[in-house]
Amino acid sequence: MAKQVTIYSTQTCGYCKAAKEFFQANNVAFEDIDVGLNQEKAREMIEKSGQMGVPVIAIKDGDQEELIIGFDQARLAKALGIAGA
């Protein structure tokens, strides 16, 4: 089963946009949550990650969830099994 990818982002954040561009370029489906608009999800992101910086990217593989804070293309590629990125 494919990994479920969720990105907690804000509309203006460049790192968030770069991460989403990377997903799109590699055909990775993702759920985009705008924590600027959704206060409840903003709290969820802060609880999950223990911090307030965006983006927070959650990659769920069955029961396992990997959280990546910030834009780190090498780490995203590894977590998603994207070769050569």
Question: Which is nearer to other proteins, 4 or 79 (by Cβ)?
Answer: 79
User: What is the CA 81 to chain-centroid distance, rounded?
Assistant: 15
Q: What angle separates helix 73-80 from helix 14-25, to the nearest 10 degrees?
A: 40
Per-residue x/- marks for other proteins, 30-49, CB under 8 A? ----xxxx-x--x-------
Task: Please report whether residue 58 would count as binding other proteins according to CB under 8 A.
Answer: no
> Residue 65 CB, nearest distance to other proteins (Å)?
19
Task: Please report whether residue 53 would count as binding other proteins according to CB under 8 A.
Answer: yes
Count CA atoms closer than 13 A to 71's CA, side-chain side: 12
CB 85 within 8 A of CB 26: yes
Residues binding other proteins (CB under 8 A): 10-18, 21, 34-37, 39, 42, 50-54, 69, 71, 73-74, 85
